[in-house]
Each structure stands twice: as structure tokens, then as C-alpha cells.
Amino acid sequence: MRKFTPTESPSETILKFKKRLGLFIHCGAFLLVMPFAILQYYANNLPLALAIAAFMLFDLLIIYLLIKEDTYLFNGWGLALLAAALVCYSTSITGMVGALWSYVAILLFFFLLHWRPATLSATLFIVVEGYIALKHLDISLWYRLIATLLLSGTLTSAFSWLLTEKQFQLVTLATTDPLTGCANRLQLNSKLSESSYNFHRYRTPSSLIVLDIDHFKQINDSQGHAAGDLALTEFAKLMASRIRQTDKLFRYGGEEFIILLPNTRANDAYRLADSLRQAAETHDFKLLKPLTTSGGVAEIIEGEGWDHWLNRADEALFEAKRSGRNRIERA
């Protein structure tokens, strides 16, 4: 029996990194603005001191939830919007002294939010901040402020967009099989864990189909690895064309493929698996002889972890092979 071990998906890794980065930013923001709250209080500017204090209290709440509950309150929106509002209010009271914090507010949008909402929010902030600053700055200084804010926002937005695109490309590379375009083992573990949670929390059934191409080594030996690669690619296309959009096809390794069927019972999964077996047998793969497959089917059961569920489907596949191949067995 194989041993399957859970692996953190790239998306989960990025989410955890975002939470750690958020914690660092919130702690830094609290320490950075605290002296200014004290300064404004002793300068008898009580309204601004209270506004900064409210900002600090909200920041502390986010820090507490991140540390104790591993929950990111409002996913960065709270601090970004509150910081922007505080900057606008400070500009209306202190003029250019408050406007200098506009650059920090723009950076917070792009550090805490996704690229598109960050760009829209930063643009709206510059418009509002520009309207408020116009009433408190001479026109030449106002032009310089707006020009530098627009330049800062544009450059930061461009960098954020490039970073988002690269992040998407890296996640795709990490979770996609380069030969067939199917999802790979790394993504499989994450999806199985999600299906297991949905079953035990919401009683949503799910089934697995494990398919293995029979005697695939003979194809490589007799016709070459190029023919084998073409057969794998064509097999993946055939399987993908005969399952639902909600189903997920994975290449587990070599000539083995796994299909995750959400909201599907074992009997329906078995019928689908057998129809896929027949489709593969009758399909023209441009090989010297017909391509056949063996398969195992398993539905998740009460109290079962996703790794045990996958092992049961794999055992059913081995039983199909022991029984003569070109057949489907149920766990």
C-alpha cells in the first residue's frame, strides 16, 4: 500500500504569507503612529489625537485576531480605508503636514489588497485627498502633491500588477502537469482535503476514480517515449471531455490519473468510470494496438481522512489489475 502525505498547496502558502505580512504591517503601523497620537495630544489637537487613537485600537484588534484566531479581519480593507480616512482628516486640519502621509496610504492599499481593488481605491483616494488639499495648500504646492501622488500610485500599481502576474504563473506551474495540462499531485492533496471537510461538515458526498493505462511501458518500449507522451496527452483530453465542469482531473504520476467527483455517490462514479474505460478502448490513439485502462472507485465514508480514502481507491485499482486489467473495481 502506498503512503500518501498531505502537502500544503501554493495558494495556501501564499495565504499564510499574506497573513504574516499583514501582521508585520499592522505591528509596524501601530508603533509608527503612536508617537504622533501623543504629539497631537500635547499640542492640544485633541480631535486628531482621538482619531489616531481610534486607528491604533482598531489596529490592535486586527493584530489580536491574527495572533489568537488566525483570522484576518476584513482582509486588509479595514486598515487601508481607515488609514486613508485618517490622512484625509489630518490634511484638513494640518494641511501639508497631513498630506505627506498620503504616500504611506497608497502603499498600504497595494500591500494589503489585490491589484485591481487597490488600484481603484488608490485612485479614489488621490481624488478625495486632492480635493481636500486644494483648500489648504497654495496652487503650486498642490500641483506638486498631486503629480507625485499620481506618479507614486502609477509606479506602485504597475509593480503590483507584475507581481500578481508572476505569482499566478508560479502557482500555475506548481499545480499543473506540464505534459497533459491536468492538475498535479500537489493540487490533488488540497482538493481531497477540501472534499473531506465538506463531507464531514456538510454531508456532501464525493467519489474518486483512479485510472491506470494498462501495460504503458510496452508503448514506450515498442514505439518510443514520444508516442507514449502523445498517448498520455490524448488520454487526458479524452477523459476531460467526458466529465463535468465541477469534476477535477489530476495526473497523479506516470500513466495514472485521478478524477475527483464532488456530490457523487459510488454507483454513479462506477458507471462513469466504466464508460471512460470503454471510451479509451475504442478511441484511436494512433498506437499499434488498442489502449486499455484499469480503474478503482471509492466514495468517502464517515470518519475517513482523505489519505485513507485515496488509499482505498488505489487498492480497488490494484484489484482490477490482479483480476485481468481492462476493468473497474469498487472499494
CB 211 within 8 A of CB 233: no
328-330 vs 293-299, strand pairing mode: parallel
**Nearest Cα to Cα of residue 273 among 323, 215, 219, 320:** 320
Q: Which helix (H) or strand (E) holds 214?
A: none
Calpha distance 43→191 (Å, rounded): 57
Q: What are the residue numbers of the active site?
A: 255
**Nearest Cα to Cα of residue 297 among 264, 261, 324, 331:** 331
Which distant-in-sequence residues (6+ apart) come within 8 Å of 274 by Cβ? 328
**Nearest Cα to Cα of residue 163 among 103, 111, 105, 109:** 111
Which distant-in-sequence residues (6+ apart) come within 8 Å of 186 by Cβ? 7, 9, 10, 174, 175
